[in-house]
Amino acid sequence: MKEKVRKLLNIVLGRSINIRQRLSRLVVMIIFASFASIALLSFCGVNFFRQNMYEMQDEFATSNSEYTKSVIEKTSMATMSKLAIADAWHINRELDLMRHDATVLAQSLTFIMTHPGSYLPQTVMDPYKGKVPPAEPYIIYSPDLRKRGIDKVSREVALTANVKGTLVSMEKSQGDQYAACYFGSKNGYLICSSIFPGDEYSPISDDADYDYDPRIRPWYINAVEVGKPVFSLPYLTILTKEHTDVEVISCSTPYFDSDGIAGVASIDLSTEEIRRFVSDTSDNAGEIRFVMTERGDIVFSSAEYGVLSESAELKDIRKLTEGDFAETISQMTKGESGIRLVELNKTPYYLAYAPIPAVDWSFGILTLEENLSPSIKESRAYYLGLMDKFHKEFQNTYDSMQHISIVIALLLISLFAFFSDKLSVRFARPILELREGVREIAKGKFDHRMNIKTGDEIEELADTVNAMSLDLKSYMNNLSRVTAEKERISTELSLAANIQEGMIPHIFPPFPDCKKMDIYASMEAAKEVGGDFYDFYMVDDHRLAITIADVSGKGIGASLFMVISKTVLKNFVMASNYTDLGELISRVNDQLEENNTACMFVTVFIGVLDLNTGKFEYVNGGHNPPMIYRKNENKFSYLDTPRNFVLGGTPGLKFKSRELVLSPNDALFFYTDGVTEALNEKVEMFGEERLIEALNKFAELTSKPKEFLAKIRSTLAEYVGSAEQSDDITMMSVVYKGDVLEE
């Protein structure tokens, strides 16, 4: 044992001169220096950490509580803003439907008045002659007209009575709430159809003599003055006997004959549904919901008192308030939307607002600021508790690790003192020889050989290095040749991919001057080049051709057949003044089948959309049926189309085209089987059910095809996860906007 200690001291003091002893001394010095450095750093670090722990606790808790408050406030503000927009849209939809119905009624009357020879005389019930059922139109003559004689307008009445069916159908479409559809003539009579839910006959039957002249009513006068659809403020209808007056909103618009304005058509709708919507959705403490006109007048409100409450006399609340609140109200009257922190009666509120464009009104949600913020004290206490717990756990862990480190250090030093001398002798010389040999090989001298005979793993390592040098020599020669070949193939594939990408439309919007439709498409190849493609182009100034296809197979062969298929399809469509799309596709099939020695085929869906009429003629050549979105139904469904046979496989096939008519804001979604057959990590397909579920989930984005496709692609990527793409993924969305009436 004394000899071992003496040798160790010689090593530490530097008295040894051979390589083995130098190696042992160096290792001993490194171990001692490492342990000393670690101990010193640990001691300084713990003291520094202790000095700053409580300060860091306070800063961490404060910063995290402020961050939490900021995140919650931003999220709540975004939610309030979206809620205001959604509620405003709900009210706007009800009023916009009224305007649409009033316009249709006026257009029907105008057509009847300007084409009298196209209609037979009709009759309408007169309350003088019997009780009127609730769904039966009736006529009221003004006192002035009765004095002059109602026979003077009998011919006109018999003509306009042809609109009875329109009156009743519009009235019944309003459901269980009170509604009335009517029109007043410039000659002093009114034909009306009104429903009183639960009644056996119209209240007009109880008092057929009451004095009523439509020409002096505000709804008539305002529509004549404006000359277009106009809404009234809420008012009480004039009902009879036991019936309580009903509050309604009117939408009125003039109709015409050959001489000009012949009268005014109008629709009344009970405000009960709107009031219930405003009141029922305002059940949070400190929250007020209200509807305001463009002049700053409160129309509906959930507030029972205060500046935002309803009153018998209209009041411009811009003049009754000041500061940020009045400024925000002014923005609302201009049809803007947003959310702002305002002060009302020295109390901070958040005011979210959105326009109701059908009537130039605005909808607002006012809520207390404190309702959006969590308790900062609770957040701070929570984070301080976490930091205190962390401090205690850290101290306990450090003490334990310190004790363990001391024990391990002493054990390692003892073991090293015992084995370092023997190990250094055995390993130093062959390792140095091996190092020098590896250096020679690393310089590129692959013919160099090492002759190490130790009888252990070092000898095996030397033999392995010798064998490796021979393999490296052969490998380097092969690598140079293979690398050059791969670079050539990679360059050609990259060029092919660029050419293929350039052949399909990739500039959006493709027709910026065309406002009748919008389109967006994307294609992702599973390999460097793919077999999917899409295409769209204008056949003439009002017809848009749309194509999506999937070539059998993948890689270079599929990409070449894709180029041929796309070129032949477009050339046939553009070069022929076709009258039958099915006959044209039959000719394309024969062309692709000719000299098709590779026996490839392509599934194709092609259609031509008339942007003036919405007519869409299409042929499905073995492709996945597209999805169609109907705006009035607000959902997607599969397009009813037979698949027919693929193109290029069999000559002489006959293809039949089909037609449908798109309404404004309807949309079409095209895709290849790479979408529905996309596989996740469990080798499960995405499937048609998940696809249509995703389409309906983001149906509100169909008017923005680019954002719509991004959402569908994101949903697909989330489902696939890290699984490798198994097939080309191609999607295209087309929204037909048509000639939509301006609001």
User: Is residue 258 very low, low, confident or very high in pLDDT (cuts 50, 70, 90)?
Assistant: very high
Output the pLDDT for position 26: 67
**What per-residue confidence (pLDDT) applies to 241?**
47
Both tokens of 738, joined, read: 């048509």
Domain 115-271 is of which CATH architecture?
2-Layer Sandwich (3.30)
Share of the chain above pLDDT 70, in %: 76
Query: Which pLDDT score, from 0 to 100, does residue 65 have?
Result: 57
pTM higher than 0.75: no
Alpha helix (H) residue ranges in 357-456:
376-442
Q: What pLDDT is recorded for position 27?
A: 64
Mean pLDDT value across residues 696-702: 95
Q: Kindly indicate the confidence band of residue 28, based on its pLDDT and cuts at 50, 70 and 90.
A: low
**Out of 39-48, 105-114, 299-308, 678-687, which region has the weakest mean confidence (pLDDT)?**
39-48
- Its CATH class, for the domain covering 506-736, is alpha beta
Residue 718 has pLDDT above 50, yes or no: yes
Q: According to the model, what pLDDT value does residue 742 have?
A: 40
478-532 pLDDT, tens per residue? 766 766 666 665 656 566 666 666 678 989 999 999 999 999 999 998 776 678 9
Kindly state the tokens that stand for 494. 């990259």
Q: Per-residue pLDDT for 741 more than 50?
A: no
Tallying the residues shown for the chain, one arrives at 743
Q: Rounded to 5 degrees, what angle do the CA atoms 39, 44, 49 make? A: 125
Give the pLDDT of residue 240.
47
Where, residue-wise, is CATH 3.60.40.10 in the chain? Answer: 506-736
**Gap between the Cα atoms of 638 and 732, Å rounded:** 15
Q: Smallest Cα–Cα separation from 660: which of 652, 668, 650, 670?
A: 668
Q: Evaluate if residue 277 carries a pLDDT over 90.
A: no
Please report the pLDDT score of residue 193 as a whole number.
83
Q: Directed axis angle between helix 581-593 and helix 555-575, to 10°?
A: 140
Per-residue model confidence (pLDDT) at position 743: 37
Convert the pLDDT of each residue in 372-422 to its tens digit.
655 445 555 665 666 667 667 766 776 777 678 777 767 766 776 666 666
Helix, strand or coil, per DSSP, at residue 379:
helix
Residues in Cβ contact with 1 at an 8 Å cutoff, skipping those fewer than 6 apart: none
**CB atoms closer than 10 angstroms to residue 155:** 11
- pLDDT value of position 662: 96
The residues, ordered by sequence, that sit 6+ positions from 680 with a Cβ below 8 Å of its Cβ are 686, 719, 720, 721, 723
CATH number of 282-371: 3.30.450.20
Strands across the sheet containing 635-638: 517-524, 729-736, 666-671, 627-630, 635-638
The pLDDT score that the predictor gives to residue 725 is 87
Delimit the CATH 3.30.450.20 region(s) of the chain.
115-271, 282-371
Stretch 98-126: mean pLDDT: 92
Average pLDDT estimate for 240-251: 73
Is-contact 124 157, C-beta < 8 A? yes
What is the predicted pLDDT for the residue at 702?
A: 95
Cβ-defined contacts of 441-450 (< 8 Å, 24+): 441/465, 441/468, 441/469, 441/472, 446/470, 446/472, 446/473, 446/476, 447/473
